[in-house]
């Protein structure tokens, strides 16, 4: 479904050149849920943005849904991938109602039957009809993230890209959103890539997981291997130990 080979993303800031992503390669099969973990600045979100065409990138191959992705994406290309961002407070327009927010993608893609589809999208993510004409500030953080997920899924895309979808939420709300994502992924047979700094979240939601550090892909392991500590790189081991909590050095 998604194939990347030798992906490079370089930013130019003043006179400096920042190589945010260096030679990253992986493939994601149809229906698979793939995870990327790493610490801040490891380039994990940039990989996701490069796949969506939100940042310019160079690669030997960047295939989405069996087609080489063009530097400039067409409307049909964009509809295949939808994005859910980290901060539900920042990713929803503060002066638009939930109805406006969900309508917009359908209008852009000249869909029909908009009214009914907005209603269905709301109930899909566990929101009630009373939420439809509310503004984002009238919703809780978890409800906002549900709106963002509904907006991403309303076009029924084959691919869902998730950038830290629960890191701004409390654990109890995180649990609800993670359960929702799992359920929707199955019912829409989605291919998804989840980016997170939280190993436990990624291991919960993904089948295979890439570990990134300083813009490079360190290794790819399965969720079972990650849980069992059956990993190849020292960095992954260090990350795993740190994620299990504080340990005193004797």
Part of the chain binding other proteins (CB under 8 A), chosen from 22-30, 59-67, 78-86, 220-228: 220-228
The answer to whether residue 227 forms part of the interface with other proteins (CB under 8 A) is: yes
Q: Output helix, strand, coil percentages for the chain, rounded to the nearest 5.
A: 40, 25, 35
CB of 222 to other proteins, least distance (A): 12
Binding positions for other proteins, 123-152, rule CB under 8 A = none
Q: Which is nearer to other proteins, 82 or 166 (CB)?
A: 166
* 118 sits near other proteins (criterion: CB under 8 A): no
Q: Is 210 in the site for other proteins (CB under 8 A)?
A: no
Token pair listed for 232:
């190849």
What's the DSSP call for residue 63?
E
Residue among 5, 65, 176, 219 that touches other proteins (CB under 8 A): 176
* Candidates 11-19, 57-65, 104-112, 234-242; binding stretch for other proteins (CB under 8 A): 234-242
The sign of the torsion formed by the CA atoms of 175, 99, 115, 80 equals: negative
> Which CB atom, from 154 or from 193, has the smaller least distance to other proteins?
193
The CA-to-CA distance between both ends of the chain, in Å, stands at: 48
The strand pairing partners of 216, in sequence order, are 213
C-alpha distance from residue 161 to each of 21, 35, 36, 236 (Å):
18, 10, 11, 23
| Three-class DSSP category at 183 | helix
- If one counts every other C-beta atom within 10 angstroms of the C-beta of residue 100, the result is 15
Task: Please state, in angstroms and rounded to a whole number, the distance separating the CA atoms of residues 33 and 25.
Answer: 16
- Under the binding rule (CB under 8 A), the answer on residue 179 touching other proteins is yes
Task: Report the relative pairing of strands 216-222 and 191-196 from DSSP bridges.
Answer: unpaired
Q: Is 186 in the site for other proteins (CB under 8 A)?
A: no
Among 36, 149, 193, 226, binds other proteins (CB under 8 A): 226
- Using the rule CB under 8 A, is 246 a contact of other proteins? yes
Residue number, 84 or 177, with CB nearest to other proteins: 177
Contacts with other proteins by CB under 8 A lie at: 39-40, 170-172, 174-176, 178-179, 182, 197-201, 203-204, 223, 226-227, 238-240, 242-249
């Amino acid at each position: 479904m998604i194939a990347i080979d030798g992906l490079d993303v370089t930013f130019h800031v003043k006179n400096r050149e920042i190589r945010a992503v260096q030679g990253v390669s992986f493939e994601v099969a149809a229906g698979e849920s793939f995870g990327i973990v790493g610490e801040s600045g490891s380039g994990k979100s940039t990989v996701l943005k490069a796949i969506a065409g939100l940042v310019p990138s160079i690669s030997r191959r960047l295939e989405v849904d069996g087609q080489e992705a063009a530097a400039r994406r067409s409307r049909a290309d964009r509809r295949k991938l939808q994005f859910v961002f980290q901060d539900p407070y920042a990713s929803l327009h503060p002066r638009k109602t939930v109805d406006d927010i969900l309508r917009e993608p359908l209008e852009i893609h000249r869909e029909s039957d908009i009214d009914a589809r907005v209603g269905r999208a709301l109930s899909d993510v566990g929101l009630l009809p009373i939420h439809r004409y509310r503004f984002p500030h009238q919703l809780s953080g978890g409800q906002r993230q549900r709106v963002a997920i509904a907006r991403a899924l309303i076009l029924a895309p084959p691919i869902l890209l998730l950038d830290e979808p629960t890191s701004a939420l409390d654990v109890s709300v995180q649990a609800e959103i993670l359960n929702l994502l799992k359920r929707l992924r199955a019912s829409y047979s989605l291919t998804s890539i989840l980016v997170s700094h939280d190993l436990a979240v990624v291991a919960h939601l993904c089948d295979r997981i890439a570990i990134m550090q300083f813009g490079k892909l360190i290794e790819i392991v399965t969720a079972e291997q990650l849980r069992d500590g059956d990993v190849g790189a020292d960095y992954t081991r260090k990350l795993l130990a740190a994620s299990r909590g504080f340990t005193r050095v004797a």
